[in-house]
Amino acid sequence: MTCAWLCMADGTRFEGLAYGAPGHTVGEAVFTTGLTGYQEVLTDPSYCGQLVTMTATQIGNTGCNAEDPESTDDRPKVGGFIVRDASTLTSNWRASESLGAYLERHGIVAIAGIDTRQVTRHLRDRGAQNAAIGTGNPDELVDRARSAPSMEGLDLTRRVTPASSYAWTEGSGAWLPLHGVPGAPPREGKAERHVVVVDLGIKRNILRNLVDFGCRVTAVPSTAAASEILALEPDGIFVSNGPGDPAAVTTAIETLRELLGKRPMFGICLGHQLLALAAGARTFKLKFGHRGINQPVRDLVTGRVEITTQNHGFCVDLESLGGRARSTHVHLNDGTSEGLALDDADAFSVQYHPESAAGPHDSLYLFRRFVERIDARRGAS
């Protein structure tokens, strides 16, 4: 294997081995603590523009397959991939190709043989920052990292939002048997509730869960106007996850501001942040973010602690809410915002991912809460 470098904007350099596609790549270096689900990480649109460090030591031993992508177009969305031990052995009954071949086929530049614990400690101490991966001169890679635009101020949703509206009908029943799970959750009634999804880079499993809970789903691009969404006559509106700085997604913020109170609304991750911004709150960038499948969150209403999957680098400033929204969930590690309720507007949101396919399922009740609000609104009309 060829020598390669991971070079940070602060000048720090890590030597490793070229992996995946040839060439170089630049993006924000981050880390995720999940022990499983590397294909879900690779294909999560929220990682668009980022070089993702896997803290789990060995990556690639179960290969890749055609069933696990989280992006609706099945393609990886990360800007680059950083691993310690790239397994040369692929052993899983569902695998169709090795991780290395998968990365190369999709043009994803990666680096292996890196001490990912050292990289993670560096990012925790210095903060997430731009970096470059490549086989060229490390001095030039440092320059590339330093000249790349900061994640703050970037609207990356336009890279991952669909070009046009589409209908989604697949539920978890078509997916769970592939993972050896006996049976599948029955759909909770016919798909009578029409939910319009503002697709800012949505994950497949969110769409599947909406279908499972009895929703007929129509997804629209992030640029859809409020009038276009209301013209579809939705019973509820869902605001998806996605990449980049939430404050930069100005078109969607204005759209959501117009929609607040018109229909029951539910937001996840970026959707949580955009609903807060639409209500007049502010967001800020975390030092190194929350990424992994073991993040503890307390429900302030019930006192229950949920183990959650998360992937975000920005957060809602709770002090900026000014009574316009109610905090419902907080992160137990740092006290940051994990859930909001806009009671007057019949809207709620969470920062974490209740649908996570490669993580815990403590929070699936949120989808039921959404459809119950839709039913309550329809029953009152």
Rounded to an integer, the average pLDDT of 325-334 is: 97
Distance CA 111, CA 7 (A): 11
pTM (two decimals): 0.95
pLDDT in tens, 35-48: 889 999 999 999 99
Contact 348, 341 (CB under 8 A): yes
Q: Does residue 331 have a pLDDT over 50? A: yes
Cα–Cα distance list, 30 to 35, 49, 98, 137, 311 (Å): 16, 10, 24, 22, 10
CA angle 150, 319, 158 (to 5 degrees): 35
The CATH number of domain 3-147 is 3.50.30.20: yes
pLDDT in tens, 251-265: 999 999 999 999 999
Contact 269, 179 (CB under 8 A): no
Beta bridge partners of 310: 292
Which phi and psi angles does 248 have, rounded to 5°?
A: -85, -10
- What do you get for the CA distance between the two ends of the chain, in Å? 65
Q: pLDDT confidence of 177, banded at 50, 70, 90?
A: low
Give 3-state DSSP helix, strand, coil % of the chain, rounded to 5: 30, 30, 40
Cite the active site residues. 269, 353, 355
Q: Does residue 380 have a pLDDT over 90? A: no
pLDDT in tens, 357-370: 778 888 989 999 99
Q: pLDDT confidence of 176, banded at 50, 70, 90?
A: low
Tell me the pLDDT of the chain averaged across its residues. Answer: 94
Cα Rg of the chain (Å, integer): 20
Distance CA 126, CA 287 (A): 8
pLDDT in tens, 42-98: 999 999 999 999 999 999 999 999 999 999 999 999 999 999 999 999 999 999 999
Contact 98, 90 (CB under 8 A): yes
DSSP string, 329-365: EEETTT--EEEEEEGGGTEEEESSBTT-TTS--TTTH
Q: pLDDT confidence of 379, banded at 50, 70, 90?
A: confident
Q: Is 277 helix (H, G, I), strand (E, B) or coil?
A: helix
- CATH superfamily of the domain spanning 157-380: Class I glutamine amidotransferase (GATase) domain (3.40.50.880)
Asked which of 126-140, 168-182, 318-332, 338-352 is least confident by mean pLDDT, the reply is: 168-182
Per domain, the residue ranges of the chain are: 3-147, 157-380
Q: pLDDT confidence of 378, banded at 50, 70, 90?
A: confident
Rounded to an integer, the average pLDDT of 145-152 is: 97
Rounded to an integer, the average pLDDT of 241-250 is: 98
Which phi and psi angles does 215 have, rounded to 5°?
A: -110, 140
Distance CA 25, CA 2 (A): 16
Percent over 90 (pLDDT), the chain: 89
pLDDT for 183:
47
For 191, counting Cβ atoms within 10 Å of its Cβ (0-12 exposed, 13-18 middle, 19+ buried), the class is middle
Nearest to 256 by CA among 299, 352, 270: 270
